[in-house]
Amino acid sequence: MRNPRRTEKIAFFFLLLATLLIVVPVGLIVVIIIQKGLPAINWQFLSDMPRQGMRAGGIFPAIVGTIYLVAGAIIFALPIGLLAAIYLSEYSRENLLTRLIKLAIVNLAGVPSVVYGLFGLALFVVFFKFGASILSGSLTLGIMILPIIITASREALESVPSSFREVSLSLGASKWQTIRHIVLPNAIPGILTGTILGLGRAAGETAPILFTVAAFYLPQLPHSIFDQAMALPYHLYVISTQVPNVDEKIRYGTAFVLLALVLVMNLIAIVIRTKFRKKKKW
């Protein structure tokens, strides 16, 4: 005879185990990177150029390059993503075309990042002749995070109750006025959250920038958007695999800075979301 209490206990054990297995790697990554990387962090490491074939000095150009790339990606992806989301959620009617568009967005999110890299190389670097540059890299990253921004914005817009739209329209407001004054203001927290998550993704990816912008080593900072730039994820790859005898401290220090950048962005997204959730009044 089966003992239901024992079955219950076994099930509980495995459920708990699986849950712990998720937490453990996250915790380990953070602990190891902090433990090995934190000693490398000082003002010089953050603000100096790399020296002695990247075996000493700092990672300032890689930090600057990543910030440029992320900013460029967002300047490109946020307006387009937001406008597309507004169209899809507020204007489009359910038909074959919109179903195709939505399918395309879902699939865009599933494309491997290295494919984006090749695509950026073919389109921006070669076809548009932007060369390997911040512009090409930003556009490539921008396309990669478009689905994240569109999906998050659409969800945010659609979560605004339709009764608000009806009230606004019933007071004689036009459709655009309704979107501009009622729907958008109430969707902004969700849109911001999605945007910042997209930023974090763009900051951390290596493959899309590999062929489109990333420089192995540059003795100076980029001067324009047509210059190549160093970037944190690629720099980490280079000093970990391409340059011999790099001190472990520098490698983990770089990883620490990258991780901190991404985690801080995600943290900001979470703070914004909770703050506005509390203010939400319906």
Partner 1 sequence: MVKFKIRDLDVWFGPIHAIKQVSMEIQSHEILSVIGPSNSGKTTFLRTLNRLSDLHASFRMSGIVEMERVDTRGMDAETLRRKIGMVFALPLPLPLSIFENVAYGIRMQGVKNRKTLEEKVEEALQQGYLWEEVKDRLDESAFKLSGGQQQRLCIARTLAVQPEVILFDEPCSGLDPISTAKVEDAMVELKKKYTIVLVTNNVKQAARVGDKTAFFLSGELVELDRTDKIFTAPHDQRTNDYISGKFG
Q: For residues 64-93, which are near partner 1 according to CB under 8 A?
A: 93
Q: Which of 19, 107, 177, 274 is the binder for partner 1 (CB under 8 A)?
A: 177
Residues 88-117 binding partner 1 (CB under 8 A) are: 93-94
- What minimum distance in Å lies between the beta carbon of 170 and partner 1? 4
Output the smallest distance, CB 104 to partner 1, in A. Answer: 21
Q: Which is nearer to partner 1, 79 or 185 (CB)?
A: 185
Quick check: 281 binds partner 1 (CB under 8 A)? Answer: yes
Find the angle CA(144)-CA(146)-CA(149) to the nearest 5 degrees. 130
- Backbone angles phi and psi of 72, in degrees to 5: -60, -45
Cβ-contact 145, 201 below 8 angstroms: yes
The pair of structure tokens assigned to 64 is 């600057």
Residue 159 binds partner 1 (CB under 8 A): no
- Token readout for 84 is 């597309």
The secondary structure of 148-186, three-state, reads HHHHHHHHHHHCCCHHHHHHHHHCCCCHHHHHHHHHHHH
Q: Is 169 in the site for partner 1 (CB under 8 A)?
A: yes
Residue 155: CB minimum distance to partner 1, A: 18
Q: Number of residues in contact with partner 1, rule: CB under 8 A? A: 20
Q: Does 275 bind partner 1 (CB under 8 A)?
A: no
- 203-242 residues in contact with partner 1 (CB under 8 A) are none
Interface residue with partner 1 among 159, 174, 242, 274 (CB under 8 A) is 174
Binder of partner 1 out of 46, 49, 80, 173 (CB under 8 A): 173
Q: How many helices (H) and strands (E) does the chain have?
A: 12, 2
The helix/strand/coil state of 27 is helix
Select 95 or 224, whichever has its Cβ closest to partner 1: 95
For the beta carbon of residue 32, count every other beta carbon within 10 angstroms. Answer: 12
Question: Measuring CA to CA, how many Å separate 122 from each of 70, 76, 128, 147, 159?
Answer: 21, 19, 9, 21, 38
Q: Tell the smallest beta-carbon distance from residue 196 to partner 1 (Å).
A: 23
171 contacts partner 1 (rule: CB under 8 A):
yes
Whether the CB-CB separation of 214 and 229 falls below 8 Å is answered with: yes
Residues forming the site for partner 1 (CB under 8 A): 93-94, 163-174, 177, 181-182, 186, 281-282
